[in-house]
Every structure is written in structure tokens, then in C-alpha cells.
């Protein structure tokens, strides 16, 4: 498989965008997590060839949408095509994450229940699937918080998670669930 990598500037730090031949996003990570990116690509794709993307149309469109998102158009990322490789369960969770509106949050348990899981232990499985999300920001795992309202794990750092929620004007100041959504 041939994948293409591009560097994109963002207010949260330089990002690495990995796309495929069809211009679909496979990975979006931060350059300070390059070791994680390499491991991610190796685990998901095995032996791959990663090439510089250059200024392709897909890169222009995606970076333009990221720029609009960071400038305040919080729905600019909603229609970006992704092709994240993972288990069926992981892909189901990642699809559900994309349905959480900007500025809203949910908990791991609420997400599990919204997907029809009644066993409270499923929140941990949901959290594990979220933690395996290879696509920062576009697949908005930053919108999932702990049931006590605390920001819990974020592969790209809790400071970034907090900044993204502030950017989206989510209420991060109170405990408890900040807001609910429906799938």
C-alpha cells in the first residue's frame, strides 16, 4: 500500500496528514508524536511505502478545512472522507464520535449506552477504541470525557484536548457531563 504524508500547521502544533491514493485521511497526528505515528502505520498497514504528498488537491482541501475549523467554522471537518483501519468495533466507535456535534461532550459510558450497550463495563472498551483512534480532531475523540466531568486520556495530550474543547466553546468548567448528544 502506498500512503502519502504532508505537514500541516495548526494552532496546536505541526501535524502530519497521511492520505491514500484516493485522498482519504488514514492518519492525522502531531509531529511531536512521530514515534506513535510510525508504530501506528506499521501495526495497521505492515510494510508500506510512505511518500511526501506534496501539494495535492486532497492535501489542499483537507488543510483548508482544518484551517477553517481553527478559524471558527466548527463544522468544516464534518465531510472529510476518512478510511481509518481498525476492528469493526473501533470503526463503529469512531463513526459515533463523528456524530457528536462540536461544542458538545459525552462520557464513555453514555457513548456505550447510546450504541446499545447496557453493561457498564463497556465504557472501558469504548475508551480503548477511542484511544486507538488514528485521526486527531477530524474524528473528535476530544469530545469524550469522564463521567465525573474530568478530562480523561487523550493520545495527543490533555492540554490539546482542553484547548480543542475551549475552541469549540464546550463548557469545561463544571463537573459532571458537559452536554449530551443523540446518535
* Confidence band, pLDDT 50/70/90 cuts, at residue 180: very low
Same domain (yes/no): 64, 93: no
Same domain (yes/no): 65, 13: yes
Other C-beta atoms lying within 10 Å of the C-beta of residue 121: 9
Three-state DSSP at 115 gives coil
C-alpha cell at 147: 463521567
> The CATH number of the domain where 107 resides is what?
1.10.10.10
Three-state DSSP at 142 gives helix
Same domain (yes/no): 104, 44: no
- Cβ(162)–Cβ(173) under 8 Å? no
Where helices occur in 26-172 by DSSP H, the ranges are 34-45, 57-70, 88-97, 108-114, 122-131, 158-167
Q: What pTM, to 2 d.p., does this model score? A: 0.89
pLDDT tens track for 153-175: 898 899 999 999 999 998 765 43
Active site residues: 141
In a domain, 13, yes or no: yes
In a domain, 181, yes or no: no
Amino acid at each position: 500500500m502506498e500512503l502519502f504524508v504532508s505537514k500541516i500547521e495548526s494552532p496546536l502544533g505541526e501535524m502530519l496528514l497521511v492520505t491514500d491514493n484516493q485522498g482519504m485521511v488514514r492518519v492525522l497526528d502531531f509531529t511531536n508524536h512521530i514515534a506513535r505515528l510510525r508504530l501506528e502505520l506499521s501495526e495497521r498497514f505492515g510494510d508500506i511505502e510512505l511518500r511526501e504528498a506534496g501539494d495535492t488537491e486532497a492535501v489542499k482541501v483537507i488543510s483548508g478545512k482544518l484551517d477553517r475549523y481553527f478559524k471558527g467554522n466548527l463544522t468544516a471537518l464534518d465531510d472529510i472522507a476518512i478510511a481509518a483501519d481498525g476492528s469493526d468495533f473501533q470503526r463503529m466507535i469512531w463513526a459515533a464520535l463523528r456524530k457528536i456535534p462540536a461544542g458538545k461532550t459525552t462520557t464513555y459510558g453514555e457513548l456505550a449506552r447510546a450504541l446499545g450497550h447496557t453493561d457498564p463495563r463497556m465504557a472501558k472498551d469504548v475508551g480503548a477504541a477511542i484511544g486507538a483512534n488514528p485521526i486527531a480532531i477530524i474524528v473528535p475523540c476530544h469530545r469524550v470525557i469522564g463521567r465525573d466531568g474530568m478530562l480523561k486520556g487523550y493520545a495527543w495530550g490533555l492540554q490539546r484536548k482542553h484547548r480543542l474543547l475551549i475552541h469549540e466553546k464546550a463548557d469545561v468548567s463544571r463537573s459532571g457531563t458537559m452536554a449530551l448528544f443523540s446518535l
